[in-house]
Structures are given as C-alpha cells and as structure tokens.
A and B are shown apart, each in its own frame.
Chain A
C-alpha cells in the first residue's frame, strides 16, 4: 500500500481510539468508534484475497451492529437522564444494552464467534492491531461505566468467555486462531474484575497487550502462521524458540513470569469480595489455555521437530524486521517482582 495512504489510515485508527478514550460526550464516543471501524477495514484487507474480504465483512457487520446497539443505549440514557455526559449509566436497560454492545466489540461470549474467523483471514500484522489496539477503546468505555454495570450479566459473559477461550483453542493448529481464542479468554479475565476493581482490568489489559505484541512479533519474524511452520524455527533462529517458550508460558499464567501477575491480582480481588468458587473455577479453566500453549512449545522449542534439509537454507533469505523485541520480552516475562507498583495505574 502506498505509504502515505497507510499513514493516513493508521492515523485515523489511532485518532478514533483517542477520541473514544478522551471524550466526555456520548456522541463523540460513538463517532470515535465509527471512525476506528471505517479506517481499520482497509488495514484488514491489506492482502487482497477473498478470505480477507470475508474477514473484513464479518468484522464490519459485527462492529456496526455493536455501534448501533451502543447508539440505542446512548439514546435511552439521554431520554432518562437528559444529558450527554459520560458518567455511570443510571437506567438499567441502557446499562444492559451498552454492556452487550461493548461485549460484542470486545469479542466476549456469546458474541465471540467473529474473533477466530476474522483473525484467521487477515495478515499477521493486521491481526496484531485487531487483537491489541482495537480492544483499548471498548475497554475504556467499560472502565468509565463500571459502577453501573449489571454484575450478573458481566460475570456470566466473563466466565463463559474463559471457558470458550480455553475449549475453543484446543483443536487449533493455526496460530492466528490460537491467538484469537487466547484473546477471548483474556477478555473474560479482564471483564470479570471490572466491577470490583477496574484498575486491575487496566493492569490485565497492559500485560495482555505486551504479551500478545511479543507473540505476534515472534510469529512475524518467522512469517509462520501454522504450528508446523513455527516448528521450523529451531533450524533458522534457535534463540526465537526460547523466547517463544518464555512468552507462551507467561501467557498461560505460570509463575514466576509476569503473566501470573494479573491472574493473581484478580484472584485476590475476587476473594476479598467473598466470592471463592468463582476465582477457583476461573483459575482451573485457565489451565485449558495453558494446555494448548504448552503443546505449542512442545512442537517449537522443547523438541527438535523433524524438518527437511531445505529448511536449513531458509535462514539466509528471511529478513523480517521485528520492532522493540527485547523490551517486550522483558515486559512479558520479568515483571512479576514489580507487582507493588500497581498503584501507578490508579
């Protein structure tokens, strides 16, 4: 794509999210969402094939529906409170509809069906933007209306998302679908704690974005989109396999890596609010996620997968540039001792 056009489109995506996060008028928030949606469609379609077109169409339809539901909730809120300022939503109907709309944007169960299919149809870099940047805007709105969200709906969606994210990823060999299901599960963790302590939602979002960025960078480096092509990495760049191992175990939430920090904090907050069975269930269901991450490490770093001799030549031709990998690796694996610094997120 022409670099100038690409810059303008990326700026529009960025601006859309910024408008959503910084506005205090509901209409501007809706406008920000629409700007974001329209501008990201060309990015999703960077590779011009029918699969990408199908993915972009699905994304557009779901997000547009969600925006319309959001608009309806805004109007109902306007009718009942008479003002456009974003504060907690006083009317329960409007609050429920808004929660459902934002859940559709994030990809929470039962609105998760678009996430794997859209992520699979687009290129790795577009998938990266989809799974990290696009989550910021809806999450910021959820953060701002968090005092008024109906707890039952949100917790049901969260727990079902963790379940679906765990079970759905079990049968996948395509890396983009694995990352999509991982995104669904992590969104479940984030929304579960939203009502009790929104700071932890932001913490989880931060750590999740860093780990997902790292994973995608490592995938982009070897241009691999299936487990099989990732398993050739030991031939080409053995250090990448170690980094994949560390980041995947961190995503699975194993101490002492930093992926354990959000899970630990969320379990602590939920237990302090006297719900004991819920965090236990959530923690055990997160083990399903850990299973398919571990399976991925088995074929990548912990065994030397059989490959043909042609693979050994491939390293001479690969020159993909990965940005910012060392700080991302450190952030996604070594941050656990810095847990007391949570207070800066308040």
Chain B
C-alpha cells in the first residue's frame, strides 16, 4: 500500500518544486500513474482480503473505492485548470497541495485496518476540504457552507470516537482483521442502543441521511469544481464505506434500530428527487440528486442482505463517476456564463454538439439506464428492499420515475430548444473538457462489461 501512499505524499513536493509552466502537467501525469498502480489492487485472488501489513489492507469493498479515488485526482486537476489560471503561482501550488493532501488522507482511510485510525483520517479529510471550499469558492455563502459542513460532520462523529474507544475496551482490539473473527452479538441493553446510534450517526450525517442533509447542497454549490467533484464522488462514499464496515459489529440491534433511518431514507429519496424538479440552480440540482442516490445506499446497507451490499457498492462507484461528471459539465457551463442558473445557458446542443453528447450520456447514466452500472446498483437495491418488505417497491418505483424526470428535465433545459441570444459568443469546448468527460465516461461504460469487480465482498 505504501507504493500508492508515498507517491501521493510526494505529489506535494512535486508541486512546489515544479516550474511555472509544468505544475499542471507534472501533477496530472503522476497522479494518472498512481491510479494505474492502484488498478492492480482489483485483482483479488479469492474472497479473502489482501493484507499488506498490520496497518493496511484492501478487500473487494475498498479496492474499487480506492481505484475511484486515485482515478479522480487527475480528473480534478484537469478540471481546475481554467478557474485557477488567473491566480498567482503560489496560490495554484497551494490548491494542488490541498488536493494532494486530501487524496493522501482518503487513500489511507479506505485502506486502514484499525478503526480508530480510520476515524482520525476520516476527520482529517475535513480540513483540506474546508480550506478548498472556503478559500477558493466563489460566492459569499461559502463561509456559511464551510461552517455547516464542518460542524454537521463533527457533531455526528464525536460520539463515534467515544463509541469506538468503548468497543475497544470491550473487545480488546479494533483491528479490522481481527474483528471479523472475534465478532459476537451485542447484548440487548439501552447502552448498546446508544452505542449503535453513536456509531452510525457519523456516517448518516456524511452520507447524508435525509433529515441531516442540510450541509450538502450548501457545500456542493459553493465549492469550486475540484471540491464539488471530490465531495460528491468520494467523501459521501466515506460514509457508505464506514457504514458497511461498522454494521458488521453492530448486530443484532440493527434489526430494529434501522427502522427510523430506513423510513427517513425511503421518504427522503422521494422528497429530494422531487425538489430536483423545482431547482433553478444547476449545481443544486446535482447536489440534491446525490442525496437521493445516497439514500438508496443507506437503505441497502441497513437491510444487510448479500444482494443489497452488492447493490450498495455498485451504486457508490457508479454514482461517484456520474455525479462527478455532472459537476464537470455544470462547471463547463459556469465557466462560460458565470452563473449557475440553468435557463441562462439553454439550447447548448446547437452551439456545442459534442458537449451535448456528454450531457446525454451523463443524464442517461444518472437515470440508471441499462446496461450501465448505475442500473445494476439500483436494481439490486430495489430487488433486495422488495424482498425485505413488498411495499417499498412503490416508493422505489416512484423514485426511479422522478429521477428519470429530473435528469431529462436537466438535459432538455440545458441542451434542447432555441439558444438564448447572449450565449452565442461563448468559447467552444476545450480539448481538456472533452478529455475530462471521456475519462469519466469510459470507466463507467467499460464497467458495465464486467461489473463483478465493483460488486463488493458479497459477490
């Protein structure tokens, strides 16, 4: 694992020592190389986990997330080149350093064995993200957004620290390799109910669960493009990954403790999808669609069946790529019109036809068109929740319909129709932007040929 972590840490000296015209080239190239190394982790010989050392391991759940994380760093760097082009050199280097630091913490979070180390790195990812949102965001609301983001996550996760330490007292070790074998059922008592709550709330806030999602639209909208990409694609998945790991230790309380959260998620996904239909702000629409997709993941994790775990993992990877691509597309609009309002940049198919093709592909995967992996994820989740309780199919079906509605609404508003008269002087699409979209879409389409690598450890 050090062969991935140390090069990522060394990206920081690379930025500071590069010449002025080479910083983007150097960092993008080397982060692409690092992502190629991480692809080798996907080769898991049997269903056991690959243990690299006492501190790092990778199993079929964390390997796809790790590959997604390392794949996204070059994409983030490519996406940020335009809006940073006018800044002084030191600030550009600081931005790239923040991204590299965040990347290091994320890689270590996904591969660490010890749960307290996971907690420390989980919290550590907050600091670079806060700095990226607050320092490089574009509107005054970013200050509020950063505060909401920081404090929602911290209030949720401080009880997690206490819970992890008390579990360590009870069982003697929090090393993940050991817990798999030592696992015993939690006795039934009030304090164990609070232990369950303390463990899960951190990840519920991070996912986010419907009632605690207030930080997400603010943070996503106010962040610069790399911030939005990493928030949507990876940081939300940290919550999902944490939940998948920690529910292993929390049986059998999950059987009855999960009901309120299941209800909130099932209702919340319909509510947030419906809100998407009424949004005027493009980034806000994509942010709410993230909440809706993640609510599906929460339902899947709380049901705890093998198929639902497969669906949750596939949905996380698929949503990561799709959501990040949608944010890149929205950013390409924003860089031209400096406004996030959807109707200000409509009818773009006439002006930028290749970008319209990417918009089409992104919207189609967002609404879970077969045979994309988004469909595989959603389908597994819908099937397993149907087997858990027949009635949920009504809500799930309604959600799929509304998701299709708002994805097509977004596509039609931005691409079809007559273009407005004030956008006929926008710059044509850069090769960099087309490359960015292609690099998002290609893994998504290729994975639909072999989805078993992202189906997680219950395959």
Chain A residues within 8 Å of B, Cβ to Cβ = 245, 249, 254-257, 260, 264, 267-268, 271-272, 276, 279-280, 283-284, 287, 290-291, 294, 298, 301-303, 336
Contact present for A287 and B155 (CB under 8 Å): yes
Binds A, one of B122-130, B258-266, B365-373: B122-130
- Nearest Cβ on chain A to B223's Cβ, whole angstroms: 13
Question: Once the chains are docked, how many angstroms separate the CA of A291 from the CA of B158?
Answer: 15
Which among B105, B123, B135 is the interface contact of A254 at CB below 8 angstroms? B123
Q: Does B169 reach chain A (CB closer than 8 Å)? A: yes
Given A255-B123, A271-B169, A276-B166: A290 in contact with B161 (beta carbons within 8 A): no
Which among B120, B131, B147 is the interface contact of A260 at CB below 8 angstroms? B120
Contact present for A294 and B120 (CB under 8 Å): no
Contact present for B120 and A267 (CB under 8 Å): no
Question: Once the chains are docked, how many angstroms separate the CA of A336 from the CA of B105?
Answer: 14
Which among B120, B155, B165, B169 is the interface contact of A255 at CB below 8 angstroms? B120
Question: Once the chains are docked, how many angstroms separate the CA of A81 from the CA of B124?
Answer: 52
Per-residue CB contact flags for chain B residues 410-436 toward chain A (1 = under 8 Å, else 0) read 000000000000000000000000000
Contact present for B120 and A303 (CB under 8 Å): no
Contact present for B143 and A303 (CB under 8 Å): yes
Contact present for A271 and B155 (CB under 8 Å): no
Residues of B within 8 A of A287 (CB): 151, 154-155, 158
Question: 8 tightest A-B contacts by CB?
Answer: A256-B124, A283-B158, A302-B134, A255-B123, A271-B165, A255-B120, A302-B135, A255-B124
Contact present for A298 and B134 (CB under 8 Å): yes
Residues of B within 8 A of A303 (CB): 134-135, 143
Contact present for B162 and A267 (CB under 8 Å): yes
Residues of B within 8 A of A298 (CB): 134, 143, 146
Q: Does B191 reach chain A (CB closer than 8 Å)? A: yes
Residues of A within 8 A of B124 (CB): 254-256
Question: Once the chains are docked, how many angstroms separate the CA of A298 from the CA of B155?
Answer: 20
Which among A256, A271, A291 is the interface contact of B162 at CB below 8 angstroms? A271
Q: Does B121 reach chain A (CB closer than 8 Å)? A: yes
Contact present for A254 and B134 (CB under 8 Å): no
- Nearest Cβ on chain A to B67's Cβ, whole angstroms: 24
Q: Does B159 reach chain A (CB closer than 8 Å)? A: yes
- Nearest Cβ on chain B to A143's Cβ, whole angstroms: 24
Question: Once the chains are docked, how many angstroms separate the CA of A291 from the CA of B151?
Answer: 8
Which among A264, A280, A294, A336 is the interface contact of B147 at CB below 8 angstroms? A294
**Which single residue of chain A is at the shortest CB-CB distance from B159?**
A280
Question: Once the chains are docked, how many angstroms separate the CA of A40 from the CA of B124?
Answer: 41
Could you list 10 A-B pairs, sorted by A, with CB under 8 Å?
Answer: A255-B124, A257-B127, A268-B165, A287-B158, A290-B150, A290-B154, A291-B147, A294-B150, A302-B135, A336-B120
Residues of A within 8 A of B134 (CB): 298, 302-303
**Which single residue of chain B is at the shortest CB-CB distance from A339?**
B120
**Which single residue of chain A is at the shortest CB-CB distance from B169?**
A272
**Which single residue of chain B is at the shortest CB-CB distance from A239?**
B90
Residues of A within 8 A of B151 (CB): 287, 290-291
Question: Once the chains are docked, how many angstroms separate the CA of A249 from the CA of B165?
Answer: 23
**Which single residue of chain A is at the shortest CB-CB distance from B154?**
A287
Contact present for B126 and A254 (CB under 8 Å): yes
Residues of A within 8 A of B162 (CB): 267, 271, 276, 279-280, 283
Which among A267, A284, A291, A301 is the interface contact of B165 at CB below 8 angstroms? A267
**Which single residue of chain A is at the shortest CB-CB distance from B94?**
A242
**Which single residue of chain B is at the shortest CB-CB distance from A246?**
B127
Residues of A within 8 A of B159 (CB): 280, 283
Contact present for B158 and A249 (CB under 8 Å): no
Residues of A within 8 A of B123 (CB): 254-256, 260
Question: Once the chains are docked, how many angstroms separate the CA of A303 from the CA of B105?
Answer: 25
**Which single residue of chain A is at the shortest CB-CB distance from B123?**
A255
Per-residue CB contact flags for chain B residues 2-41 toward chain A (1 = under 8 Å, else 0) read 0000000000000000000000000000000000000000
Per-residue CB contact flags for chain B residues 162-205 toward chain A (1 = under 8 Å, else 0) read 10011001000000000000000000000100100010000000
**Which single residue of chain B is at the shortest CB-CB distance from A302?**
B134
Given A276-B162, A298-B143: A256 in contact with B191 (beta carbons within 8 A): no
- Nearest Cβ on chain A to B196's Cβ, whole angstroms: 13
Question: Once the chains are docked, how many angstroms separate the CA of A268 from the CA of B120?
Answer: 14
Most buried by A among B127, B134, B158: B158
Contact present for B127 and A284 (CB under 8 Å): no
Question: Once the chains are docked, how many angstroms separate the CA of A279 from the CA of B105?
Answer: 26
